[in-house]
Structure formats: C-alpha cells, structure tokens
Amino acid sequence: MSEQDIEQYRVHEAPYYRPVGDELELYRAAYDARMPVMLKGPTGCGKSRFVEYMAYELGRPLITVACNEDMTAADLIGRYLLDADGTRWQDGPLTTAARIGAICYLDEVVEARQDTTVVIHPLTDHRRTLPLEKKGELVHAHQDFHLVISYNPGYQSLLKDLKQSTKQRFGALDFSYPEAAVEAEVVAHEGGVDAQTADKLVQIAHRARNLKGHGLDEGISTRLLVYAASLIAKGIAPAAACTMTLVRPLTDDPDMRETLDQAVATYF
Ligand SMILES: Nc1ncnc2c1ncn2[C@@H]1O[C@H](COP(=O)(O)OP(=O)(O)OP(=O)(O)O)[C@@H](O)[C@H]1O
Ligand SMILES: [Mg+2]
C-alpha cells in the first residue's frame, strides 16, 4: 500500500478530547506493550472520540469497522474479487491495518458472530499474525499495529457475548458519563453554549439517568446533550431543543415523556 493510500486513514487535526481519568496514560502504556484494548461503556460517552484522539497523539492511521451480525470473517480479512482481468485479492480492513501499522477499531464487536470474532485471536497474542487461508499468506502484523474494540456492557444477552477466550486477550478501560463539571465542559465546548446552559443540560441528564432501569433502558448520553446544545446555539428555544434531542429519541412511553418534559421544564 502506498503512502498516499495510508494517508486516507490519518487523523489530520487534533480531535477535542477531554480526559476523564487516567485513560490517556493507561492507553499509552498498553499501546507501548502492544496489549489489545477493550473500551467498555454506554453509547455516546466518548469511546470513539478517545480512539481518534489517541490515534492522532500516537501518529498512527486509524481504521474503524462498525461490526454487525451479518459480518463474516471475509469482511474483516479480505476476499477474492472478480474483475475484467480475472480474480484479484482485496484486503479487508483488519488486514490493511495489520499491514500498515494502523490502529484498528472494531466498534460494537459483540454484534459480530463468534466465528467472525475468532479471526482476531492470532493477532492478539504473541503471534501477532493473521492467516489469509484462501490466499495462502500469513501476514505478520506491522510493529505499530494495535487492536482496539468497543463493547457496550448491558446490551447483549448471554447468547450474544464475547467468548472468554476473546475477552481475555484484552486489557479493558471503563468509560462512563463524566462527573457533572467535566461533562458540562464537554457540552459547552462541543455544542457551543455558555457554561450556565451546559450545566442545566447536564442536570437534566442526571435526572434522566436516575430513571435507567425504572422505565428507561438507557440514560441521556453526552452525545444527546451535545445535540441539545447545538440546537440552542442555533437559536432554538431550549425547551424545544431538549424535547427534540433529550426526550423523543429516548422513549415512546407517554408517561416517561411526561416525566422527562417536566425535568426539562424545571431548568428551562
Ligand atoms: N471526554 C470527551 N471529550 C470530548 N468529547 C466528548 C467526550 N465525551 C463525549 N464527548 C462528545 O460526545 C460525543 C459522542 O461520543 P462518541 O461518539 O465518542 O461516543 P461513543 O462512546 O463512541 O458512543 P457509541 O457507543 O454509540 O459509538 C462526541 O461526538 C463528543 O462530542
Ligand atoms: Mg462510537
């Protein structure tokens, strides 16, 4: 692969990431040890942003794969394609990442079937290799290659979980919504609102997060708070902005909506 092809995977501008704990230091050490890393945490709490930031900081290209249950091993590794000149091998994203020394981020990895997930095993132990059986090639991962997966605890059933033999190939970092002051800082920065408005949005989220398991499957994420802030920054009345971004996406239950609307009305 040429430098030009690799260029497309580079993170060119420093992503805004507000550290929440010791995750930067821990990730760096894991990267230095080439220890695969698993990011655990609910939706919209900063996992993807963190990986982009680390890729930028470490100067590594980043290849992200959104996993789903229809995905096959070939979607990760590669396959033969038919074209006018006959057959041609095309590397999948995992193979490309291993060859060029990228950070490969497998997002929502539990969505993939277990027979798909096992292809990462030889890459995640001392071997650091990837056998392309159909092609008859054994790829030795570039020394800078790093594998990161995300995992949303709580969503998967017992049937849909990672095998222990997969889980136990990773060091894990827990992500959650940051403490109020830090989250407000993120919301103000990303959504373009003043500190006071950001504070109020975070307070609303705290109320809603208390309803998790009591009628709500998931609390309001940082992502949704950023959405609310961006609408407010565009001149939308705060109450309407909150209904659109913090209430309606979350639930269709009329009572729950009412409860959330009341929480919004307390602040705006
Ligand atoms: N610590 C943080 N620093 C900067 N921005 C953050 C942080 N946490 C959350 N955000 C904001 O929240 C948004 C959502 O974060 P991100 O896309 O990283 O979530 P995620 O954890 O990957 O969610 P999902 O599991 O749904 O993919 C980001 O676009 C960013 O605006
Ligand atoms: Mg993500």
Residues β-bridged to residue 80: 89
Final residue of a domain: which of 174, 193, 221? 174
Query: pLDDT of 111-147, one tens digit each?
Result: 898 888 999 999 998 999 999 999 999 999 999 999 9
Coil, helix or strand for 12? Answer: coil
Size of the chain in residues: 268
Distances in Å between the Cα of 49 and the Cα atoms of 3, 46, 123, 187 are: 25, 5, 24, 14
Does residue 103 sit in the same domain as residue 52?
Answer: yes
Query: pLDDT of 200-213, one tens digit each?
Result: 999 999 999 999 98
Residue 157 has pLDDT above 70, yes or no: no
Query: pLDDT of 3-39, one tens digit each?
Result: 888 999 999 999 999 999 999 999 999 999 999 999 9
CA dist., res. 201 & res. 260, Å (int)? 12
Number of domains in the chain: 2
Among 17, 150, 176, 222, which is best to mutate for testing ligand 1, by the most ligand atoms less than 8 A from CB? Answer: 222
- CA of 205 relative to ligand 2 center, distance in Å: 19
Confidence grade of residue 80 (pLDDT, cut at 50, 70, 90)? very high
Query: pLDDT of 190-243, one tens digit each?
Result: 999 999 999 999 999 999 999 998 989 889 999 999 999 999 999 999 999 999
* CB of 221 closer than 8 Å to CB of 43: yes
Domain containing residue 84: CATH number: 3.40.50.300
Among 53, 149, 186, 225, which is best to mutate for testing ligand 1, by the most ligand atoms less than 8 A from CB? Answer: 186
Q: Is 8 left (phi over 0), alpha (psi -120 to 50) or beta?
A: alpha
Does residue 43 sit in the same domain as residue 124?
Answer: yes
Give the CA count within 13 Å in the CB-facing half-sphere of 55. Answer: 27
Final residue of a domain: which of 131, 152, 174? 174
Please report, in angstroms and rounded to a whole number, the separation of the first and last CA atoms in the chain.
54
User: Within the chain, what is the greatest distance between any pair of CA atoms?
Assistant: 67
Coil, helix or strand for 109? Answer: helix
- The percent of residues above 70 in pLDDT, for the chain, comes to 98
Retrieve residue 60's tokens: 């590594």
Residue 155 has pLDDT above 90, yes or no: no
In this prediction, residue 227 carries a pLDDT of: 98
User: Domain span at residue 129?
Assistant: 3-174
Whether the model pTM is above 0.75: yes
